[in-house]
Structure formats: structure tokens, C-alpha cells
Amino acid sequence: MSTERAVFKYEIPVDDQWHEIAMPLPAKVLHVACQDGARGTVMVWAEVTPSGAEVSSRAMRVYGTGHPVPSGAVYVGTALASPFVWHVYAEAIS
């Protein structure tokens, strides 16, 4: 199996819904941001091993500042889209 790595970009809509994000393993989130001032989506950049055979899906969701976040959700990162600030969380793995 190859150990070459690459950075992939994943889009998460700002819509109060959980979204399944499939990433090749191993995956490490590097950055969260709104690209080009977009307010309707948040981007997540992750370092992955694209030639790896295993892919894992993880539910992610965007929350606005001050909105309740479920217990156990795991913080991924924050993105600024003036005047909004979005926070990405992953569903807890049980």
C-alpha cells in the first residue's frame, strides 16, 4: 500500500443538517474556512492517503455561534464569513 498523501477539500452546507463526509484513511483535518466569502458552505481541507483501500464516512454539521451543539459532538474547526462565524462539528463515534 502506498504512503503518498494528498490534501482533499470537502464541502459542508450551512443548512442545520448532518452530512456524511467520506474520506480515505488515514485522514487528518488541516483547515476549515469559507472560500471566496461563501456564506452557504464551509470547506474542510484534510490530508488523506488517496490510494488507501479504506474509506470512512463521518457525519459533520455546521453550527452558528450561540447555537446549541449536541453532547458528544467533536469540534473540527471554525470558519469566518463576515458577519457570520461557523463552527464545524463531527458526530461522536460510538
Within a domain: residue 31?
A: yes
pLDDT of the residue at 94: 59
Task: Supply the range of the domain harboring residue 61.
Answer: 6-90
Q: Which whole number is the average pLDDT over 9-17?
A: 96
Which one has a higher pLDDT value, 36 or 29?
29
Within a domain: residue 46?
A: yes
Query: How would you class 44 by CB atoms within 10 Å of its CB: exposed for 0-12, middle for 13-18, buried for 19 or more?
Result: buried
Model confidence at 29: pLDDT above 70: yes
DSSP code for 92: P
The Cα 94–Cα 92 span in angstroms is: 6
* Cell numbers that stand for 69 in this block: 451543539
Q: What is the dihedral of CA 61, 58, 52, 29, to 10 degrees?
A: 40
Within a domain: residue 50?
A: yes
Taking only the tens place, the pLDDT of each residue in 38-89 is 778 999 999 999 887 789 899 999 999 999 999 999 999 999 998 999 999 9
The Cα 42–Cα 50 span in angstroms is: 22
What is the average pLDDT score of the chain? 91
Within a domain: residue 1?
A: no
Within a domain: residue 83?
A: yes
Q: For the chain, what is the domain count?
A: 1
